[in-house]
Structure 1
Amino acid sequence: MKNLRKAFPALRQYVYLNNASCGLLSEKVFEYRQDHDLDLLISGSVFRDKQGEILEKVRETVGDFFNCAPNRVGLIHNFSSGFNTLLEGIDKSSKILLLKEDYPSINWAVNSREFDVCYAKIDENLEKNIENALTKNRPDLFCFSIVQYENGIKLETAFLKEMKEKFPDTLFVADGTQFIGTERFDFDASKIDVVIASGYKWMNAGYGNAIMLFQEDVPKKIDPKRFGFNSLQGKYKAHKGNFLGKFEPGHQDTLNFGSVMAAIKFINSVGIDLIEERIKLLSKKAKEEFEKLGLLEEAVVKRTQHSSIFNIGGDDKLLEFLNSKNIISSLKTPGVRVSFHYFNTEEEIDLLVTALKEYHQK
């Protein structure tokens, strides 16, 4: 564990419990970024001419990691750009199912258009609520976060696969930003139609990169209108009108997309199964400790499966107190949010619990 922590210099000065807000940059990703810009500095267009080859390698690395053919891997700069492009390719008369109070980048984007919108409630019965809403409304699309950003409530991929098989005519579009990088994920086997995810959180890939994964029949159901000269770049976007190119109309940033590749290589060196095991262990311990202190909302307490994101109540005063202890977290209404990645430790949970007891005894 000490060797794993060495790769993240920020851990030397903080008890860093804020991965759900900003994932730490590893030394390996930082080294890639330095080397990349050094090559650009000394070579200019000679290096730029290798752009297509670099992006091909990125797609192949991403595709291999998530079990998705590289010609179905989109490279975009953030979740919102990809999601909004997708929505522009959907018939305006479509009915869309959302989760009430899901991530604003999902719900605001949908509600800013003329779609017929229905909702499922996020609580301890989330799966039942989703199934009932799918049965009642028969939506054209179901757009949702796999893991909720405020309190960490998580949908299991086995449940999502079951729902997709039960409602095959509904297009399942998932935000995986708070999910990818936390456990092994087989995209093709999941049956989810589209996954869009930024890489700066749990992938620890830095800012300015996100991925889109598409099932094979999705181009028949979505018709985005964006296009540009670089929509034709590389062997996976070689012909005019290709589907990936509609999500990638401009110059692609090899610094940021290459960072995803570097991050995946580092994850592979650690082992995604080890990462998953560590996160589940930390999540279990944290939930037990927070329950003892009575800090968790009922919807979280009553669920058997949970992510490693928790909202522990409090306000800006609690956040300020934790910051004074070099414990880094976020303020997310209705409380302070903490989140644990594989490089966190059980001892850090103990330090947090001690600090919380001190704060609440004041």
Structure 2
Amino acid sequence: MQSILNHKLVCQRDQFFIPNDVAYLNCAYMSPSSKRVDDVGQKALMLKRFPYQITAQDFFDNVSKLRSAFGNLINTIDSDRIAVIPSVSYGLSSVANNIRIGKGDNIIMAHEQFPSNVYTWKSLAQKSGADLLTVKPPLDTDNRGKQWNERILEAIDQNTKLVAISNVHWADGTLFDLKRIRERTREVDTLLVIDGTQSVGALPFDIADIEPDALVCAGYKWLTGPYSIGLAYYGPYFDDKEPIEENWINRKESEDFANLVNYQDEYKPKALRYSVGEQSNFVLVPMLLEAIIQLKEWGIENIQSYCTELMSTPIAELQDLGCKIEDGEYRGNHLIGARLPEHLQLEQLTNELVKRKIYVSIRGDAIRISTNIYNHAEDLNRLVDCIRDLS
């Protein structure tokens, strides 16, 4: 099926299992499975009943399709640059394992990134003697996103060996200007590693435009796939580096089962060496593949446009109630953080949200609202009414 790019999306709630009395505004926590993905998963689960039907080729075919589908989603035709990973931390560990860094060098990251995109670099800095520099946003909420981006650009210098950042901040949706950051990293010859978990699948991302050295994505959020599987892109810097594990399937000519006892020193090319062992997962791989196919049919640009239109009125209403929200130029509209006015008690709001079956995430002094194409205006109306009733 062809993408419906440039066609206005209508609410796709009927493609999911969300009850009518639930306002699920928490895709940044975990996406629901669509009916199509759920159906594929159930059929795949039953396959293990009949292992004699699983052929040697089945270890490779769906994985190849998955890598191609993800490559198409992020605009790279070279699917050999895509690896199957079990988690973001796994994908980032492959990066950390292959960086030359030492005392006097530094690693740049944004303040309060997701832990998996912190612990990896904290460990690397401790082992290597490099400095880990965290760039904080300004305390002032006016022009916060713009100033934060400028601070990140200013922090990158000749001693920077790695910039580790996301496209949108996982806690409040602040949009980072990856294009300018990439230009700055080129000026000082440093690596750019992006955690795309909270953006890829809902916000257009173009490998050819940004050209990161690595992009890692968990599959269970905006890619709308299952838990414990993700995908990573690795650029030319990593073509001849070492994976963090030695598994049979990432070696040259592993497709020939009869020849596996003739051990190979050579890895498969490019990013294929970084895929996790047992990457052929006969349940999770077809589910994530179906999820990405469905996203492509809806069109990522269309999904972001849908969320933008859906959130426009609620954002204005929340601001009228005293909530602080990032300027439109520096936020993704599928994920926003609304910082509450001081008079509103967070605990009281949390309890009331649960009573009303409204699901968001609390991150610091903000509520994180993350919508997708299964949400409709009534979901947001219920949230705004809840905050208004307590104000």
TM, length-normalised to structure 1: 0.89
Question: 1:202 aligns to what SS in structure 2?
Answer: coil
Contact 1:225 1:246 in 2 (8 A): no
Question: 2:283 aligns to what SS in structure 1?
Answer: helix
Q: 1:11 to 1:305 in 2, by over 3 A?
A: farther
Deviation at 1:53, TM superposition (A): 1.4
Alignment equivalent of 2:110, drawn from 81, 99, 102: 99
Percentage of identical aligned residues:
20
Contact 1:291 1:301 in 2 (8 A): no
Deviation at 1:339, TM superposition (A): 1.3
Question: 1:211 aligns to what SS in structure 2?
Answer: strand
Moved more, 171-180 or 337-346: 337-346
Q: What is the identity, as a one-letter code, of the residue corresponding to 2:121?
A: V
Q: What is the identity, as a one-letter code, of the residue corresponding to 2:41?
A: R
Deviation at 1:18, TM superposition (A): 0.6
Per the alignment, residue 71 of structure 1 pairs with 80
Question: 2:66 aligns to what SS in structure 1?
Answer: helix
Residue 155 of structure 1 pairs with residue 176 of structure 2: yes
Q: What is the identity, as a one-letter code, of the residue corresponding to 1:120?
A: V
Higher helix share: 1
Per the alignment, residue 21 of structure 1 pairs with 29
Residue 44 of structure 1 pairs with residue 51 of structure 2: yes
Alignment equivalent of 1:219, drawn from 239, 243, 268: 239
Q: 1:249 to 1:212 in 2, by over 3 A?
A: closer
Question: 2:329 aligns to what SS in structure 1?
Answer: coil
Per the alignment, residue 305 of structure 1 pairs with 330
Deviation at 1:200, TM superposition (A): 0.6
Per the alignment, residue 215 of structure 2 pairs with 195
Per the alignment, residue 201 of structure 2 pairs with 181
Q: What's the CA shift string for 1:277-329, capped at 9, x where partnerless? A: 11222343333222111122xxx445633123233345343122111111111
Deviation at 1:234, TM superposition (A): 5.3
Deviation at 1:164, TM superposition (A): 4.3
Q: 1:146 to 1:234 in 2, by over 3 A?
A: farther
Residue 86 of structure 1 pairs with residue 95 of structure 2: yes
Q: What is the identity, as a one-letter code, of the residue corresponding to 1:337?
A: R
Question: 2:33 aligns to what SS in structure 1?
Answer: coil
Moved more, 1-10 or 193-202: 1-10
Separation of aligned partners in 2, 1:217 and 1:153: 28
Q: What is the identity, as a one-letter code, of the residue corresponding to 1:119?
A: T
Question: 1:152 aligns to what SS in structure 2?
Answer: coil
Per the alignment, residue 119 of structure 1 pairs with 134
Q: 1:305 to 1:99 in 2, by over 3 A?
A: closer
Deviation at 1:155, TM superposition (A): 1.4
Contact 2:87 2:230 in 1 (8 A): yes
Residue 337 of structure 1 pairs with residue 365 of structure 2: no
Alignment equivalent of 1:244, drawn from 271, 274, 286: 271
Per the alignment, residue 260 of structure 1 pairs with 288
Q: 1:159 to 1:344 in 2, by over 3 A?
A: farther
Q: What's the CA shift string for 1:209-251, capped at 9, x where partnerless? A: 111012234325x54442222223459xx98233435422511
Q: How many residues end up aligned between the 2 structures?
A: 351
Residue 129 of structure 1 pairs with residue 129 of structure 2: no
Per the alignment, residue 388 of structure 2 pairs with 357
Q: Which has the larger radius of gyration?
A: 2
Contact 2:110 2:136 in 1 (8 A): yes
Contact 1:97 1:143 in 2 (8 A): yes
* Root-mean-square deviation (Å): 2.4
Question: 1:288 aligns to what SS in structure 2?
Answer: helix
Q: What's the CA shift string for 1:173-214, capped at 9, x where partnerless? A: 000000011122221222121110101111111211111012
Alignment equivalent of 2:61, drawn from 44, 53, 65: 53
Separation of aligned partners in 2, 1:230 and 1:210: 17
User: What residue ranges of structure 1 are gaps of 5+ in the alignment?
Assistant: none
Separation of aligned partners in 2, 1:223 and 1:301: 41
Per the alignment, residue 119 of structure 2 pairs with 108
Question: Does 1 or 2 have the higher relative contact order (CA < 8 Å, sep 6+)?
Answer: 2
Deviation at 1:357, TM superposition (A): 0.7
Separation of aligned partners in 2, 1:217 and 1:303: 34
Contact 1:58 1:257 in 2 (8 A): yes
Deviation at 1:11, TM superposition (A): 4.5
Question: 1:254 aligns to what SS in structure 2?
Answer: coil
Separation of aligned partners in 1, 2:373 and 2:148: 26
Separation of aligned partners in 2, 1:98 and 1:246: 27
Per the alignment, residue 204 of structure 1 pairs with 224
Q: What is the identity, as a one-letter code, of the residue corresponding to 2:156?
A: L
Q: 1:110 to 1:178 in 2, by over 3 A?
A: same
Separation of aligned partners in 1, 2:151 and 2:304: 27
Question: 2:121 aligns to what SS in structure 1?
Answer: helix
Q: What is the identity, as a one-letter code, of the residue corresponding to 1:205?
A: G
Separation of aligned partners in 2, 1:47 and 1:2: 39
Separation of aligned partners in 2, 1:303 and 1:121: 20
Moved over 4 A (4+): none
Separation of aligned partners in 1, 2:328 and 2:298: 29
Deviation at 1:126, TM superposition (A): 1.6
Deviation at 1:264, TM superposition (A): 1.2
Question: 1:140 aligns to what SS in structure 2?
Answer: strand
User: What residue ranges of structure 2 are gaps of 5+ in the alignment?
Assistant: 1-8, 139-143, 257-263
Alignment equivalent of 2:378, drawn from 341, 347, 352: 347
Residue 318 of structure 1 pairs with residue 349 of structure 2: yes
Q: What is the identity, as a one-letter code, of the residue corresponding to 1:71?
A: D
